[in-house]
Each structure stands twice: as structure tokens, then as C-alpha cells.
Structure 1
Amino acid sequence: MGYGFSRADVAFLSGAAGAAALARVDRLELTTATHLRDLESVRRAFGASAAALVETVRLRRKAGVKLLDAAHWLFTDDALQQATPTLVARRRAMRLAGRAVHDVTCSIGAEIAELAAICPRVLGSDLDDVRLSMAAHNLAGSRNVLLARADALAPVSTDTVVLADPARRADGRRTHDPAKLQPPLPDLIAAYPGRDLVVKCAPGLDFDRLGWAGEVEVVSLDGSVREACLWSSGLADPTVTRRATVLRSNGSEAVITDAEPDEIAERAPGEWILDPDGAVVRAGLVRHFAAKHGLWQLDPRIAYLTGDHVPAGMRGFRVLDRFELREKTVRAQLRKHDCGALEIMTRGVDLDPDSLRRRMKPQGTQPYTLIITRIGRTPTVFLCTATAARAAGREAALD
């Protein structure tokens, strides 16, 4: 849960004395091995402020891989966990460039920091006084930002795009039920009828059951699916209801939508097997991606693709052999190919890769990948070698 910050803590940490104290604490290791010793040292120097100082330094170090230019920000542990990565927030802000935006769940200001750079006016509101105080510190240099305490379900602005990021935990557990988000997603949508609305959600939500009339965008960053974003009809291309956006830390961006063709051939497995980016899979755009690159599916119900080439920037698996899923057969094939390091990938079969790897006990010298999936009703194993994704060309892979 982390340390429970107070407004007094935020006031101290935001001032000159707090900044100097944080600089001193940041010189400490603050590792598991040194934690007790370091905490005692901070307590001797700063008394009751020790816990707030140590937690802030710890969170700043943790935030560095997620939030850019946030070295001097203030956080709570929960707020940092939910904060949108900078590159994802920046991508969303670009779609809202030139519009006035009201972030009705602004928290510590991660979204607003990007919106303020390209939107003329940004309003941020939240019910948490501590997070609002932290946002005021974090956004101190933004002249076009106004912060206020307000309930996301009680509209206080007009003529703005409404941006919301409901908390995804209920009773201490992560939830995929729209009605259990905080605030509940159905209530949030109902609170802003006719307004341009953008809602950040968990990618695991069942969007078809939700009945969303606009666009659902699924976003990944460096291969990890980060979020789904709901765009109301006034903010979306009318021909698009699903979009996959693939972002990389190197600045590349790639997009595919359901407005693109999805007709693909039904053919036997090709020379290569490919595993599409998670955003493409979650957005239901596997066929669209395949059609764009001359690929096809191993099975119409499975997300693995196959073909005779590897699109630029993707990781491909060259098929060496194929056989049924029988452990005796798998073990014999691995021994035959002198298998050592073994990667196991599965889709459409109930199988624990780690458990299978332990049972196979590969002791050879050559690295291989087993792709285990279902073709029709038959569990099938492909023995493959992998190629590393090429650094360049990720944009070409989807754009």
C-alpha cells in the first residue's frame, strides 16, 4: 500500500527545505539490505518526515522507467501504479491537440503534463486532496492548467473534452467489471451525455458487452499492452470502431484499424510463424494485420500467424519440424535436434510451459522455440528457430 501521505507532507516536500532533504536522502542506497540502516539515518536527521522522504525517493526511482521528466515529482504508491506512461499519455494528447480538456480524475497530473503542452486550456479535478496537492507541485510550470476539487460524476465544466481514468481496483483487487471501477464506468458515461468523452480502461474489459458506440483503441508500449481507451463518436473516425496502436520507446508508432481489409487465405502453415503484438490481438485485428502483410492464420480461432516472410520489425519463428503433442515425441525431437535453451509458446491449449520444460529436461547445446497450438481440434507442436526483431521498420510493419 505504501506510505500514507498527508497534505502537510506534500507542503514540506514541495518547499525548499523538503527539496534539500530529498537530495540528501537520494544519496542513500535504500536497498532491501540497507533499508533499516538508511531509515534510521533519515529519522535521526529529519524526525517525523523520514517516512515521507524515503517513500518519495523510492517512488521517484521507480517512476523513472515510466514517466519521463518526472525526476522532481511527488507521488503516492497507488497513484504511480495507475499513472499513464508518458509516451502513452503523449500519444493521447496528440489526438486532442488544440482542444480544451477536462481531466476529471487527474490524480497527480501525469495526463495533464502532456495535455498542457499542446492544448490551450486544461482543467484537472479529483476528490483526493493529497493527490491534487501533488499535482499542483508536479504541474507548477504549466500556465494553462487549473486544478480543482470535484467529483468526476458531477460535471463542473462545459465546452471541454472530458478525459477520465477510473481506478481499476475494487476491494483491493484488480477488476475487469466496468460497474466496479471507481467511478463506475456506466455511471461515468451517463454523467456526460452528448459530450466528447475519452475514457482510459483496462484492456481486459469486454467491450462488446459494454456497447460502446465510438472507438476502442488498445495501446501497447515496447511489446506490453498498457491500456484500452474509449473514444466517443465525436472524437473518432466514423469508419473506425477498433484501433491498435503500437508504441516504442525509440519514438516509433504504428497503427492498424478495422477500417482496413481483413480477407486472408486459408492455407497450410508457411515457412514462418509470427505472434502479433498484444495490442493487435486485444483489439481483434489479427486478420487485418495478416491481410496487410500477406500472412494467414494457423487456425481461424487462434492468433498465431504464418507466412513465407517476416514483416519488418517483427520477431519470426522459422519452422523446422511439426508433430503432434505427445510428450514422448516431443522429447525425442528435442534430443534429435540437440536442444538446450528452450522457449515454449502456447495458444489454444491447456498447458503449462514451465512444467513441460522441466519434464523435457533439454540438455543439448542449441536454442529452439516450441510453438504449441491447436489446428482444428488437434494440438500441434512446431519446432522453430527464432529471429530477433529488426530495430528499424516497426512503423512499416503496421502503418
Structure 2
Amino acid sequence: MGYDFTIDDVTFLRSDSGRSALAYADSLVLQPDTMLADIGNLSRRFPEHQAALVETVTCRRKAVGKLRHPDRLLLTADALQQATAFQVAEHRAAEIADRYPDATVHDVTCSIGADLAALTAAEGIAGAIGSDLDVVRLAMAAHNVPAATLARADALTPTSNADVVIADPARRSGGRRSFRIEDTEPPLLEVLAVYAGRPLVVKSAPGVDYRLLRDRYGFAGEVQLVSLNGGVREACLWSQPSPGVRRRATVIRTAGTSFEITDAADDAADVDDAGTWILDPDGAVIRAGLVRHFAQAHGLWQLDPQIAYLSGEELPPGERGWRVIEQLGFSEKNLKRRLAELECGTLEITVRGIDLDPDRLRKRLKLKGSRSLAVVITRIGRAGVMFICESGVRQS
């Protein structure tokens, strides 16, 4: 849960004395083996704010790579966990600017200002407003994003005439991550209802049941699944979809080829035997139900119509795949024998469509060779199959 900041803590941290205290706290190790001594040191120097100092420095260190300029930010552990990674926030801000030129954007659940920072920095956005009910997080946002206009307000009570509204309902229930539609605060369905008819962008959990949103609750907008460097980060709901688009996958890679694909693309991919390569599409593509669209766009095909593995003679730019050496019917005994013959000592195991724990299988194989290989285990129809491959590589 983290330390429960007070408004007095935030006022102190924003002061000259607070900045000096933070610099001193940051000079300490603040690791488990030094924590008691470090806290004692801070308690003697800053007896009323030692906990706030420890929490702020610890959160800043954890925020490296996720938020821009974390050494300047005020934040809480919960807010950091919920905050949008800056690469995703900046991509969304740029898209809002492209869809709604010169718009004023109101973040009605601004928290510490992670999305606000991207909005205020984006070219083409006329202004950014942030509001929240939490006075502590609002004070932190005022420090973190001084260019934004801020107000204390309930997200379910419209308080501006902004051209675009964005919201990020908290996705936690009882301290645990939840993907259920009803387990958000404010409730997702109420957010959609309150701002019905207005341009609305809602950040949701990547596992949100967007099909249920459509089928039971009538959501008619666009669902965008977003991944960052291989991890699916969120499902973003756009109340006003792009023409002809209901589902979209946005794949962001900080060192590689980023791309988007939508359900407006051709999905007439074939099903065939394995070619030179096997690849597992990005999680955003899979969760958006766009595997066939992605395959068709890159001259690939499916091994089985119900399984996400794709195959082809070449890897698309930026994609990681396994070059096939041979295909066998699935048998743990045969796999162990063949890997021994190939002198395999290090094995990457990837599985789809078969109930199998890769780590337990690896232990049972008792590999002793010097060669690095991979095995792709799946099913084709009702039959289990395995592809022994060269170790995974990424196409530049």
C-alpha cells in the first residue's frame, strides 16, 4: 500500500527545505540491509517527514524508465503503479492531438499527473485540465505539471467544457489488481454514461472484457490494445472510433519497429504447415483479436485456426521468431532423446494450446549439452506437436 501522505508532507516536499531534505535522502542507500539505519538518520534530521522522504525517494527510483524526469516528481506507491508509462502517455497525447486538433483536454482522474505531463507537452493540444478528488495527489500534480490547470472535482460530475475528456478509473479492489468492469473507481460504466455524446478516451485494464462491454452494455466505440516493449499495458476505449475501426492493436517498441493494425485490415490468412519460421505475435495483437489480420499483412499463415502461432518464410521487421529445424509429434520421451542427440544444454520452451508448465518440463529433460535451442509446443487440430528450432532471433 505504501505510506499515506498528508497535505503537510506535500507542502514540505515542495519547499526549499523539502528539496534539500530529498537530496539528502537520495544520498542514502535505502535498501533492506540499511533501511533501519537510514530511517533513524532521517528521523533525527527531519523528525516529522522521514516517512514521506523515504517513500518519495523509493518511488522515484522505481519510476526510472516509466516516467519522465522521475527525480523531480512527487508521487505515491499506488499512484506510480497506476501511472501510464510515458511512452504510452505520449503516444496517446499525440493521437488525441491528431484526431482533435487544437483541443482542450480534461483528465478527470489526473492523480499525480502522468498523462497530464504528456498532454501539456504535446504539439497540437491547446490546453490541459486536470481534476481529482484526492487533494494530496492533486497537490503532487500541481508540482509535477505546473503548466496544467487543476481543480478538485468528482470525475462523475462534469466540470468543464473541454473538447476531449480522458479518464483512468482505478483498477484495484482490496489492494489487488482486477480486470472486472465493475471493480473500478469511479465505475467504468458510469464514466461512459456521464460523458456519453462527448469525445471520451478511457484507459482500462489490458484484460478488460471489451466484448462484454459491447454485447451487454452497448459500447459502440473503438478498443485499442496497447503494448510497450512486449508487455500489454492497457486497453484504451475511444468513444468516437476511427472510420471502419472497432479494434486496434498498437505495438510500441522503444528499440525497434512500432506499428498499428486494425480490424479494417484484410484477415484472409491461410492455415498451412510450418514454413521456415514460427513466431508468436505481440500480445496486443492477440488480445485485440487481430492475429489473422497481422498474418495477412505480412505474408504469414496460421498453423491452426484456433492457435495464435504464425509461420512464414521471412520474419516481419521487428518480430522475434524461431527457425524450424524439425517437427515431431509431442512426446516428452522423444523430445528428451532428440535434444540429447542434438547436444542441447540450454532450451527455450514456448507453449500454446497444451496444458504444460515449461519450467517443470525443462527440469525433467535434464539437459547436459552445450547447444542452445528452442522448442515450440502446440496443437494442430487435436494432435500435440513440437517444433525443435534454433534459439529465438529478432528481425531488424
- Out of 182, 195, 200, the residue aligned to residue 197 of structure 1 is 200
- Out of 180, 183, 186, the residue aligned to residue 186 of structure 2 is 183
Comparing 367-376 and 308-317, the one that deviates more: 308-317
Distance between the aligned counterparts of 2:333 and 2:255, measured in 1? Answer: 44
* Secondary structure of residue in 2 paired with 1:89: helix
Distance between the aligned counterparts of 1:43 and 1:341, measured in 2? Answer: 50
* Alpha-carbon distance, 1:253 to partner: 2.9
Q: Which residue in 1 is equivalent to 2:225?
A: 218
- String of CA shifts for 1:302-333, please: whole Å, max 9, x gaps: 11000111112211201112112221111111
* Alpha-carbon distance, 1:338 to partner: 0.7
Distance between the aligned counterparts of 1:253 and 1:385, measured in 2? Answer: 25
* Alpha-carbon distance, 1:252 to partner: 5.2
Is residue 2:384 matched to residue 1:366?
A: no
**Contact residue 340 and residue 369 of structure 2 kept, 8 A:** yes
Q: Which residue in 2 is equivalent to 1:120?
A: 126
Q: How many residues align?
A: 386
* Alpha-carbon distance, 1:69 to partner: 2.2
TM-score by length of 1: 0.94
- String of CA shifts for 1:238-260, please: whole Å, max 9, x gaps: 21111111112248531111111
Counterparts of residues 376-391 of structure 1 (less than 5 Å): 376-390=381-395
**Contact residue 106 and residue 128 of structure 2 kept, 8 A:** yes
* Secondary structure of residue in 2 paired with 1:178: coil
Q: Which residue in 2 is equivalent to 1:228?
A: 235
- String of CA shifts for 1:44-98, please: whole Å, max 9, x gaps: 1111211111111111111112001232110010000000000100000011112
* Secondary structure of residue in 2 paired with 1:368: strand
Q: Which residue in 2 is equivalent to 1:102?
A: 106
Is residue 2:63 matched to residue 1:63?
A: yes
Q: Indicate the RMSD between aligned Cα atoms, in angstroms.
A: 1.2
Is residue 2:158 matched to residue 1:151?
A: no
- String of CA shifts for 1:181-214, please: whole Å, max 9, x gaps: 1111111111112111100011111111101211
Distance between the aligned counterparts of 2:139 and 2:256, measured in 1? Answer: 32
* Secondary structure of residue in 2 paired with 1:166: coil
Q: Percent sequence identity over matched residues?
A: 53
Distance between the aligned counterparts of 2:389 and 2:197, measured in 1? Answer: 52
Is residue 2:282 matched to residue 1:277?
A: yes
Distance between the aligned counterparts of 1:388 and 1:270, measured in 2? Answer: 16
**Contact residue 324 and residue 381 of structure 1 kept, 8 A:** yes
Distance between the aligned counterparts of 1:246 and 1:266, measured in 2? Answer: 24
TM-score by length of 2: 0.95
**Contact residue 315 and residue 386 of structure 1 kept, 8 A:** no
Structure 2, unaligned runs of 5 or more: none
Distance between the aligned counterparts of 1:300 and 1:104, measured in 2? Answer: 42
- String of CA shifts for 1:130-172, please: whole Å, max 9, x gaps: 10010011112x1xx2111111111111242110001111122
Distance between the aligned counterparts of 1:293 and 1:375, measured in 2? Answer: 22
Structure 1, unaligned runs of 5 or more: 393-399
Q: Which residue in 2 is equivalent to 1:36?
A: 36
Comparing 71-80 and 326-335, the one that deviates more: 326-335
- Out of 169, 174, 183, the residue aligned to residue 172 of structure 2 is 169
**Contact residue 341 and residue 366 of structure 1 kept, 8 A:** yes
* Secondary structure of residue in 2 paired with 1:121: strand
